[in-house]
Amino acid sequence: MDYSQVFSDRYNQLNEQQKLAVDTIDGPVLVVAGPGSGKTELLSLRVANIIRSTDTSPREILCLTFTDAASINMRKRLLSLIGPEAHQINIHTFHSLGEEIISQNPHFFYQGARYNTADEIIKVKIIEEILKKSKYDSQLKSYNPRQGYTYMNSINQSIGELKKAGISPSTFKEILKQSQSELTNITPIIIPLFNERISKKIIEKAAATLLELQAVTHSEHSITAHYIDTFTQAVAEAQETGKTVPITNFKKKYITKNHLGEFYLKDEDNILKNLELADIYQHYQDQLQKECYHDFDDMIITTINTISENPELRFNLQEKYQYILIDEFQDTNSSQIQLVDQLINMEISNNRPNILAVGDDDQAIYKFQGANLSNIQDFKNKYLDTATIVLTDNYRSHQDILDLSRSVITQGSERLENLYPNEIKKDLIAKNKTIATCNIIEKLFPTSLQEYDFIAKEIRALKENGHNLDEIAIISSKHASLESIVPYLNHYEIPIEYDRKNNVLQDQKIKEIITIIKFILTINKATLLPSEHLLPEILSFPFYQIPSLEIWKLSLAAKKNHNSWLENMIEGENTKIRDIAKFLIELSGKAHHSTAEEIIDYITGVTELQLDETTTYKNPYKDHYFDTSDIEDNTEYFSFLLNLRAFINKIRTHQNTKTLYAEDVVELTELYETHHKELSVTSYIKPTTASVKILSAHKAKGMEFETVFILHSQEQPWIKRNGSSNISFPSHLKLKPEKDNHDDILRLYFVAITRAKSNLYMTRYQYNDKGEEDLPLYFLSNFETKDKKKSAIHNAKVTQYNNEYAEENDLIELLEKVTPKEVKNELTGDHRAIFNNLLSTYQLSITHLNNFIDLSYAGPKKFLEQNLLQFPQKPSPHNAYGSAIHDALDKLQNKLTKTHQLEPLPELLQDFETALQNQHLNRQDFDHLLLKGQEQLTKYYQEKGPSFSPSDKSEFNFRTQNVVVKNANLTGKIDRMSINENDKTIAVYDYKTGKALTSWQGKDDSAKIKSLKIKNQLIFYKLLVENSRVFKDKYRVEKGIIEFIEPYKDQLITLEHTITTEDINRLANLASIVYQKVLNLDFPDTSHYGTSYKDIQAFIDDLLSGNI
């Protein structure tokens, strides 16, 4: 393909301002891009132009986006513009950039250790332990027997806000100490003014106080500067109006009385409380590091601090990224900007770095996540000679919709147009000539039921008139509103697409696992009888399929015989119930020494339980809920599988070094409940047919539709009542997201309006279910509501309205079943669409490739269940052992890279023991594998340790390297790469912890199959390295080396393979074929093959030749 012509064709379609942004390559550039102005195309063309117009390598360009979806979209556009070179461009979210910097430079971070991300419960537990140990008189230690530590959420929230601002514990403490010192200087100046009653005389005295305050030495952003600024404003307003109200307001905001009735500055209390917070913050960070955790915000702040403290790393990164482009710049927070600052060499660039920021202050809707609007407002002044380009041509919407959106957004004050009135004009002009007509419809209904029914009927009518459902969206600011309309859409058989978060712990099937665990923990304990109430519930679980009559009989027998349910189950005639009783009793014994994952494997039926010498029992849970024979018709399978996987993964990763047992699972779930946390996963509801999109206003950003319904255009839900924190930062530290103000509400509604191309419906209802009136949004011009008072009717009247309407419109049945539970039940999707979502970011690994072709392992037949869907189960002890060995050797390499000295053997063995603890094995397996690992690693270290080099790379992950070979997206992790800088070659190493192969030939079928898969692995590694963003065209892989950790006849075996062109071509073709088959869910019938090595080779040949 002639990509030069493609570029020219698309470039010529740009308007003059877009071309200017594409052509202005060097220096800082701010592009203010209104909705529908083509910013994504602009960004892609600008990247292509940098490559065309300069000698810059694609690897030297960094594009930062805010979502994975935006990253994927940008790469797709670049592929169509510049071809395969697009895979070499660094396209990241801010967090994935931090993750890549850490993973590619592990020796700079965490002493070479690999850290896990702490979830909300881990964070809560750490803070809870810190509070327990804090001083008895600590203000933040306040405790309520029912609610726990009352400052818990505020502490957690405040630490997150400090991290988003890029403030470390030590820096925070320094700021507080400095502020405390400054307050001692300004308090004697301010307080005397307010010791007398406020009257008009105070205005003149306040002016004198201000002069005295201004004379105090201070720095620009200090607390003193803040008081001077705010007091200056108050005095100026008082002088201008002749009224004391501004000074009174200053007093209310900043001054209070102590128990003696004396005035003092509120910030004195704030600082004392924040000094306690600073100590907790420091202890929190120390404990995270001790337990090998980082939290989500650490990903960026740790990267910032490490780059700042390591000139070598900073220089390498600044050399690496010659051009930086940032999308949605208005959504950046302070720490993200600090990270970008570390990647820019201001001295070499003379304060004119090659950075492009694209954004729109009118679409800044992520303040609640710490986004700082001042970043885009200050960009012009941050760099020298910043070029400012404003995109006002809109290619999405009809002019009437743009005019409406402008009438809304110009009611705001915090806008670039107001800050730079001579440079920035944002009147959007419709340029899409294909949109000839426009409908803007406002509707008011008595109740929400009538609003929902109108929208559903209107969409049905649009569909009948030929409108494409994919071009229709329903938008609101809250998911609760969106979920409520779903039953009405289902009632009129309107397909929907909706992504929403579910609380895993509310899934009934997950609750069943937890209930069984709770019960078995009480058997053989004095607490058994109080838990007898759980048995009727357990026996009623659907997977046991026990008739209610049988359960009722048990109840009668227990009452008649004055004994327990469990005794009657054992002694009864019903064999199924008797087996369940035996299972529960035997499982209770296992619970004392088996890990939580092992117990769950028994409950889910992954593992059979030995009841006695001759009898095993398989709990029917998995067979009932996960019957793969009708998997394509069982859409519930997928949503539950996501929940189960999340639940098991949470147990697996909850505590790094502690093995969890059954009682820990109960404690964990209770922690979620106590602290009102959710274990969330996102479920995807998407049919394969055209469907209406149901979106929050935040989710809708960046999308466009022919027709948009804005649901509930009224004070609720758009005007939010923000929750408050009981910890306030000192008044000069604006770190907490402020409550949504007038401008925030305007921006969110502006985003919703500007999603529409030609049809816009703004609907609302008057009375909620309680009979309270909800006023329309005050900024919509057709409603004069600013001073209107709410009215109310009796809630029975609302019920009457709904019943009468339902009767007239044949909705009685629907009205009766519209409950929160019913709404959730009706959120069903299409199995193919769910697969498509599962595969949308699929990458083929060598493990998947080998499993697909290995007929002795089950091949394609079990690929879907075992590799894609991955029914969760405990890793085998063998796999756990392998992971611990790899982790220990990874740490060995990272320490060597950092210190240029091979760590002593005892350190390696200690790292192995810690890594093995992280595998959550039961005590018996742990003790056995610990001894085995210590023996094998000692021998390996003594013989192979000297071959390690500081320049080697360990556990290099190719997940974000955009490796594409013959249209197959590949991924993998290489244990070790030995890099020869002289001849630019790499030797790839893989560690094997299983039984050693003594040669590539293999003595039997099993050894031959193993040899085939291992060779594939080494060849696959060459594909990864030579097609990756980091190594492509720089290095070549000539050989692969397998090192067996387990000795054979007291000898360590090493197998080396020189990789040929034939090897590469064959495996590349095979990977491409298997990748496409996985994407197409094409799992061929292999029943006519056997399971031998010869059969596997025949299957591979048939795949390569297209015969299967």
Helix (H) / strand (E) containing 890: helix 877-899
Domain membership of residue 612 (yes or no) is yes
| pLDDT winner (highest mean) among 220-234, 717-731, 769-783, 827-841 | 220-234
* Whether residue 135 is found in the same domain as residue 104: no
Average pLDDT of span 705-715: 95
The band of 546, judged by pLDDT with boundaries at 50, 70 and 90, is: very high
pLDDT confidence of residue 682: 79
User: What's 974's DSSP letter?
Assistant: E
Average pLDDT of span 668-697: 86
pLDDT confidence of residue 500: 78
Residue with tokens 């426009």: 438
Average pLDDT of span 919-932: 93
* Whether residue 610 is found in the same domain as residue 678: yes
Pairing of strands 705-710, 756-765: parallel
User: What's 628's DSSP letter?
Assistant: G
Asked if 660 and 595 count as a contact pair (C-beta separation under 8 A), the reply is yes
Higher pLDDT, 389 or 553: 389
Residue 358's φ and ψ, nearest 5 degrees, are -115, 130
> CA 936, CA 930: separation in Å to the nearest integer?
10
Q: Give 692's strand partners.
A: 496
Report helix, strand or coil for 500.
Answer: strand
pLDDT at 37 > cutoff 50 = yes
Q: Tokens representing 608?
A: 């059979």
Q: How many helices and strands, by DSSP H and E, does the chain display? A: 44, 30
pLDDT confidence of residue 832: 59
CATH number at residue 631: 1.10.486.10
Average pLDDT of span 57-64: 96
Q: How far is CA 580 from CA 166, 494, 544, 596, 1020, in A?
A: 56, 44, 9, 20, 48
pLDDT confidence of residue 787: 42
267-305: per-residue pLDDT in tens?
Answer: 999 999 999 999 999 999 999 988 888 888 888 888 999
350-359: per-residue pLDDT in tens?
Answer: 999 999 999 9
Task: List helix spans (H) across 348-441.
Answer: 374-382, 399-409, 416-419
User: What's 773's DSSP letter?
Assistant: B
Domain membership of residue 500 (yes or no) is no
Average pLDDT of span 170-195: 95
Asked if 754 and 423 count as a contact pair (C-beta separation under 8 A), the reply is no
The letter for the amino acid at 819 is T
pLDDT at 790 > cutoff 70 = no
* Whether residue 268 is found in the same domain as residue 323: no
Report helix, strand or coil for 714.
Answer: strand
> CA 24, CA 890: separation in Å to the nearest integer?
44
* Whether residue 94 is found in the same domain as residue 241: no
pLDDT at 113 > cutoff 90 = no
The band of 827, judged by pLDDT with boundaries at 50, 70 and 90, is: very low
Asked if 263 and 255 count as a contact pair (C-beta separation under 8 A), the reply is yes
Average pLDDT of span 468-489: 93
* Whether residue 540 is found in the same domain as residue 597: yes
Task: List helix spans (H) across 242-265.
Answer: 245-254
The band of 61, judged by pLDDT with boundaries at 50, 70 and 90, is: very high
> CA 276, CA 990: separation in Å to the nearest integer?
49
Average pLDDT of span 67-93: 92
Packed helices 596-604 and 508-520: angle between N→C axes, nearest 10 degrees: 120
pLDDT confidence of residue 784: 43
- Write b or e for each residue in 949-987: b if 16 or more Cβ atoms lie within 10 A of its Cβ, otherwise e: eeebbbbbebbbbbbbbbebbbbbbbbbbbeeeeeeebb
* Whether residue 883 is found in the same domain as residue 940: yes
Domain membership of residue 429 (yes or no) is no
354-393: per-residue pLDDT in tens?
Answer: 999 999 999 999 887 777 878 888 898 899 999 999 999 9
Average pLDDT of span 803-822: 70
> CA 493, CA 911: separation in Å to the nearest integer?
59
314-343: per-residue pLDDT in tens?
Answer: 999 999 999 999 999 999 988 899 999 999
Domain membership of residue 903 (yes or no) is yes
Asked if 575 and 583 count as a contact pair (C-beta separation under 8 A), the reply is no
pLDDT confidence of residue 26: 94
CA 594 to chain centre: 32
Q: Domain end: 243, 264, 291, which one?
A: 291
Domain membership of residue 427 (yes or no) is no
Q: What percent of the chain has pLDDT over 90?
A: 67
The band of 792, judged by pLDDT with boundaries at 50, 70 and 90, is: low
Domain membership of residue 224 (yes or no) is yes
* Whether residue 139 is found in the same domain as residue 202: yes
CATH number at residue 817: 3.40.50.300
Domain membership of residue 409 (yes or no) is no
151-165: per-residue pLDDT in tens?
Answer: 999 999 999 999 988
Determine the length of the chain.
Answer: 1108
Asked if 583 and 619 count as a contact pair (C-beta separation under 8 A), the reply is yes
Task: Quote the domain boundaries for residue 83.
Answer: 3-114+298-391
CA 360 to chain centre: 24
pLDDT at 820 > cutoff 50 = no
The band of 559, judged by pLDDT with boundaries at 50, 70 and 90, is: confident
Pick from 689, 686, 690: nearest CA to 471: 690
pLDDT at 19 > cutoff 70 = yes
Asked if 365 and 747 count as a contact pair (C-beta separation under 8 A), the reply is yes
Q: How many domains does the chain have?
A: 5
The band of 636, judged by pLDDT with boundaries at 50, 70 and 90, is: low
pLDDT at 960 > cutoff 70 = yes
Q: Identify the burial level of 807 via C-beta atoms within 10 angstroms of its C-beta, where 0-12 means exposed, 13-18 middle and 19 or more buried.
A: exposed
* Whether residue 599 is found in the same domain as residue 743: no
Q: How many CA atoms lie within 13 A of 539 on its CB side?
A: 25
> CA 513, CA 521: separation in Å to the nearest integer?
13
The rounded mean pLDDT for the chain is 90
Q: Tokens representing 429?
A: 């002009």
Residue 527's φ and ψ, nearest 5 degrees, are -90, 10
The secondary structure of 150-218, three-state, reads CCHHHHHHHHHHHHHCCCCHHHHHHHHHHHHHHHHHHHHHHHHHHCCCCCCCHHHHHHHHHHHHHCCCC
Q: How far is CA 211 from CA 228, 765, 885, in A?
A: 9, 55, 69
Helix (H) / strand (E) containing 112: none
pLDDT at 701 > cutoff 80 = yes
Query: Residue 6, Cβ neighbours under 10 Å: how many?
Result: 15
The band of 785, judged by pLDDT with boundaries at 50, 70 and 90, is: very low
Q: Identify the burial level of 370 via C-beta atoms within 10 angstroms of its C-beta, where 0-12 means exposed, 13-18 middle and 19 or more buried.
A: buried
Residue with tokens 């609101």: 476
Cα radius of gyration rounded to whole Å, the chain: 33
> CA 503, CA 508: separation in Å to the nearest integer?
11
* Whether residue 100 is found in the same domain as residue 225: no
Query: What are 1033-1036's contacts with CB under 8 Å, separation 24+?
Result: 1034/984, 1035/979, 1035/984, 1035/985, 1035/986, 1036/984, 1036/985, 1036/986
Pick from 944, 947, 936, 939: nearest CA to 995: 936
Q: How far is CA 224 from CA 214, 275, 423, 598, in A?
A: 9, 18, 34, 60
83-105: per-residue pLDDT in tens?
Answer: 999 999 999 999 999 989 998 89
Q: Domain end: 262, 291, 320, which one?
A: 291
407-433: per-residue pLDDT in tens?
Answer: 999 999 989 999 889 889 999 999 999
Q: Tokens representing 588?
A: 């209770």
CA 224 to chain centre: 39
> CA 584, CA 570: separation in Å to the nearest integer?
11
Pick from 335, 338, 288, 336: nearest CA to 113: 288
pLDDT at 528 > cutoff 60 = no
Does the bond joining 717 to the residue before it have cis omega, within 30 degrees of 0?
Answer: yes
Task: List helix spans (H) across 358-447.
Answer: 374-382, 399-409, 416-419
Q: What percent of the chain has pLDDT over 70?
A: 94
Report helix, strand or coil for 327.
Answer: coil
pLDDT confidence of residue 834: 62
> CA 453, CA 455: separation in Å to the nearest integer?
5
* Whether residue 1031 is found in the same domain as residue 950: yes
* Whether residue 587 is found in the same domain as residue 678: yes
> CA 851, CA 858: separation in Å to the nearest integer?
8
* Whether residue 602 is found in the same domain as residue 645: yes
Domain membership of residue 424 (yes or no) is no
User: What's 865's DSSP letter?
Assistant: I
